[in-house]
A and B are shown apart, each in its own frame.
Chain A
Amino acid sequence: MTDTLTAPETLIADEAASAPARATAATVARGDVVDQYPMALPAARGPVSEALFAALRGETGTDAVLAAAVAGVAATDDLLRDEDLQLALFCAYELHHGGIAGVDERLEWDPELIRARTVVEDALEDLLRRTVTLPEAPEPTAEAVSAALFALAAEDSGPSLARFLSRKASLEQAREFLVHRTIYTLGEADPHSWAIPRLTGRAKAALVEIQSDEYGEGRPGRMHSAIFAVTVSAAGLSPAYGAYLDVVPAITLASVNTMTLFGLHRRLRGATVGHLAAFEMTSSIPNRMYGDGFRRLGFDADATWYFDEHVEADAVHEQIAGRDLAGGLVEAHPHLLEDVLFGAAACLAVDGWAGQHVLEAFTEGRTSLREPLAPAGTAA
């Protein structure tokens, strides 16, 4: 399957090298600087992505997308698992992130595309607000908010996929797990960074402190997205952003789309903050299990660095995210408390469903992707 994908470019340079050397996406080593270039437009999965992609390629006007989006949203019985709508939303968002190869960059702010995207976004937000159960609201103090978020994260049915990875997963399953993760992790931290200019004071300082660590504190070879590229490359997979977009299912895209939905809307800054807090609070322990799993499968210390790094990093981040980011935001703006809880609960729910999808496929001995990967070691 992967050999039919047009791999987008990844530029890899040794951090010490004075001039970056262009390389194919074959290998990324520890400390390498990883520059990503716009992803290729994936294959459409239905009428909405078809209409969107035709407009993105300039074959039709952008005003045709709205009707397709309205019809798609009206027709779907499960937006979170709707391949067509989640892919369309992901690609609409990608115009704001890394861009799409061959697509006019002005379309990022095309009013007709924003209008069509809003139809899907509103349906997704409405679905999440209807489905997700919020915990009882704590007092609007940093201490109480942090405690409530930690309690919510602790209830998370959580690390069963992590446990499976650590003890049972085959090499092929571990590679599939990485493929799901490439969608977010090769651009790790970006969706939450949208909140930085929307925050002030204690919450802003806390978010920047967390994100600075995510982005390597000024050392590009330590960016979490770059460290993850080392792992992906060690598994014989492509570290080029978007290389596996065609094979990941809707629920994996829904997990990233939920973050971007929150991140791109100032109105939802409370939800972004809650999402990040829950994300950090459910990270260090699963990452230890992922690292154990990849060690069990024979991956070396450079390849498991990403997971090991997150055990330590997220044990710091979860404290800052709970008390200073979420707690600090709610103390200054108590009316955002409900959205903080909503964002956290949405993170746990959607990421839980995405993990459940993968775990069910693995335990039933079938692929968790839309098509199985070529086996490791064959031409990718």
Chain B
Amino acid sequence: MSDAPAGRQESHPARPDADRPGTRPADDDEVSVVAYPNGPFVVRGNFRITGPDGETIPQDRRTVALCRCGKSTLKPFCDGTHKIIGFRTEPEPPVR
């Protein structure tokens, strides 16, 4: 099965709050923080992470994931541990 009709194109404005890459603002000073369900905060843009004394925490990549579950061994960065501990960002569905 292929897409129909041929040559169809769809476009939609990239919401500033959209949880997607490719929406990095034209203004590079702007930072986007995306809260991924049951996972970390993913941060893009021109930012610097500092410790409590103001010293810069080395950051090796443009896009980083910040720990949200509190159990990462690489804090402030995410190391995937939220998956092991079953961390949830949404309330559990009611039990019926």
Contact A284 B22 (CB under 8 A): no
A335 CA to B79 CA, complexed, in Å: 33
| Stretch in A67-75, A85-93, A146-154, A351-359 touching the partner | A146-154
Contact A335 B80 (CB under 8 A): no
Contact A288 B79 (CB under 8 A): yes
Cβ-based interface call for A343 (8 A)? no
Q: Which residue of A lies closest to B59 (CB)?
A: A312
Known: A150-B83, A311-B79, A324-B21. A333 touches B3 (CB 8 A): yes
Inter-chain contacts of B42 with A (CB < 8 A): 316, 319-320
| Stretch in A13-21, A198-206, A241-249 touching the partner | A198-206
Q: How many A-B residue pairs have CB under 8 A?
A: 82
* B29 to A: closest C-beta gap in Å: 19
Number of interface residues of A (CB under 8 A): 33
The main secondary structure of chain A at its interface with chain B is helix
Inter-chain contacts of B3 with A (CB < 8 A): 333, 335
Known: A284-B80, A285-B84. A316 touches B64 (CB 8 A): yes
Inter-chain contacts of B20 with A (CB < 8 A): 202, 205-206, 323-324, 328
Contact A311 B80 (CB under 8 A): yes
Inter-chain contacts of A143 with B (CB < 8 A): 37
Cβ-based interface call for A132 (8 A)? no
Known: A312-B77, A320-B21. A147 touches B63 (CB 8 A): no
Known: A147-B37, A320-B42, A323-B36. A313 touches B61 (CB 8 A): yes
Q: Which residue of A lies closest to B11 (CB)?
A: A201
Cβ-based interface call for B46 (8 A)? no
Inter-chain contacts of B77 with A (CB < 8 A): 312, 315
Across the interface, B80 reaches (CB within 8 A) one of A204, A206, A318, A328, namely A318
* Contact indicator per residue, chain A 197-219, by CB within 8 Å of chain B (1) or not (0): 00001101110010001000100
* Contact indicator per residue, chain A 279-312, by CB within 8 Å of chain B (1) or not (0): 0000011001000000000000000000001011
Contact B21 A202 (CB under 8 A): yes
Cβ-based interface call for B30 (8 A)? no
* B13 to A: closest C-beta gap in Å: 13
Q: Which residue of B lies closest to A319 (CB)?
A: B36
Contact A206 B21 (CB under 8 A): yes
Contact B37 A288 (CB under 8 A): no
Inter-chain contacts of A206 with B (CB < 8 A): 20-22
Contact A213 B83 (CB under 8 A): no
A288 CA to B83 CA, complexed, in Å: 14
Contact A217 B84 (CB under 8 A): no
The residues of B with any CB-CB pair to A shorter than 8 Å are 1, 3, 10, 19-22, 36-40, 42, 60-65, 73-74, 77-81, 83-84
Q: List 30 A-B contacts (CB under 8 A).
A: A202-B20, A202-B22, A205-B20, A205-B21, A206-B21, A206-B22, A209-B21, A213-B62, A213-B63, A285-B79, A288-B73, A309-B60, A311-B74, A311-B79, A311-B80, A312-B61, A314-B80, A315-B65, A316-B63, A316-B64, A316-B65, A319-B39, A319-B65, A320-B21, A320-B42, A323-B36, A324-B21, A332-B10, A333-B3, A335-B3
The residues of A with any CB-CB pair to B shorter than 8 Å are 143, 146-147, 150, 154, 201-202, 204-206, 209, 213, 217, 222, 284-285, 288, 309, 311-316, 318-320, 323-324, 328, 332-333, 335
| Contacts A222-B60, A288-B79, A319-B42 supplied; 19 other A-B pairs, CB < 8 Å | A150-B83, A205-B20, A205-B21, A205-B22, A206-B22, A285-B83, A288-B80, A309-B60, A311-B74, A312-B74, A312-B77, A312-B79, A313-B61, A316-B42, A316-B63, A316-B65, A323-B20, A324-B20, A324-B21
